[in-house]
Structures are given as structure tokens and as C-alpha cells.
């Protein structure tokens, strides 16, 4: 979250939270909570709030998977575009046009599948 300096105190931007809940825990419990929160890229406070309010918690790995899927989709589009450009310049040379067209359809199908997988991960 973005922070703004106001005198000697720091103020968080966004929704103000003025209420505090104290949770008593052993040192081991606190360490486990902190470790779990860090594993998903959250503060312990945000992590406990999300758990208490039954909010879905996404790990850093989920966000990395989404980024990877988006990158693969873009790469597939670039490969298909380069193939189309090559075909326009080298018409009739190399592979049979029907084979190339089948490969292009395969690229498009794979792109749709990756987009669908991305949509599922983002839910």
C-alpha cells in the first residue's frame, strides 16, 4: 500500500482502518502466522483479516502463474504473426500451405485455451 508522510506519523492511503483487534498467541504461533502471511505476500494483519472475513487468499505463485500464462499467450501470438509474415513472403516454398494453415489454427486454439486457463486462475 502507498504511504504518505504526515509529520512524524505515517498515514496509509486508501480505506482508513481505525479499529484494532488484539490476538494473543505464543511465539511459535506468531512466527507461523507471519511466515504464512509472507508466503502469500501479505502483512500478518492483512492475512488474519482476510482469513477472518473469509476472503480468498492468493499466493505469490498464483500471480506468477497468471503472469506466465499472459506471457505465453503473447508469445503464441507473436509466433503466429511471424509465421503469417513468412508465408506471405515465401508463398509456396517450404511446407505445404494446408499444413501451415493447420498449424496456425493450432496456435489460435492454444491461445484460447491459455486465455481460458488464465480466466480460471483469476477467479
Residue with cell 503469417: 84
pTM: 0.44
pLDDT category at 35 given cuts 50, 70, 90 is very high
Report the length, in residues, of the chain. Answer: 123
Of residues 56 and 32, the one with the higher pLDDT is 32
What does the alpha-carbon distance between residue 102 and residue 108 come to, in Å, rounded to a whole number? Answer: 10
pLDDT category at 5 given cuts 50, 70, 90 is very low
pLDDT digits (tens, 9 = 90+) for 70-96: 888 788 888 877 777 777 776 666 667
Amino acid at each position: 500500500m502507498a504511504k504518505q508522510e504526515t509529520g512524524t506519523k505515517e498515514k496509509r492511503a486508501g480505506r482508513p482502518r481505525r479499529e484494532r483487534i488484539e490476538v494473543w498467541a505464543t511465539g511459535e504461533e506468531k512466527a507461523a502466522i507471519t511466515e504464512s502471511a509472507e508466503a502469500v505476500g501479505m502483512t500478518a494483519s492483512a492475512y488474519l483479516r482476510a482469513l477472518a472475513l473469509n476472503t480468498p487468499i492468493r499466493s505469490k505463485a498464483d500471480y506468477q502463474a497468471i503472469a506466465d500464462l499472459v506471457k505465453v499467450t503473447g508469445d503464441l501470438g507473436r509466433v503466429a504473426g511471424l509465421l503469417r509474415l513468412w508465408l506471405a513472403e515465401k508463398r509456396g516454398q517450404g511446407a505445404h500451405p494446408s499444413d501451415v494453415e493447420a498449424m496456425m489454427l493450432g496456435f489460435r486454439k492454444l491461445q484460447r485455451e491459455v486465455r481460458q486457463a488464465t480466466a480460471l486462475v483469476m477467479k
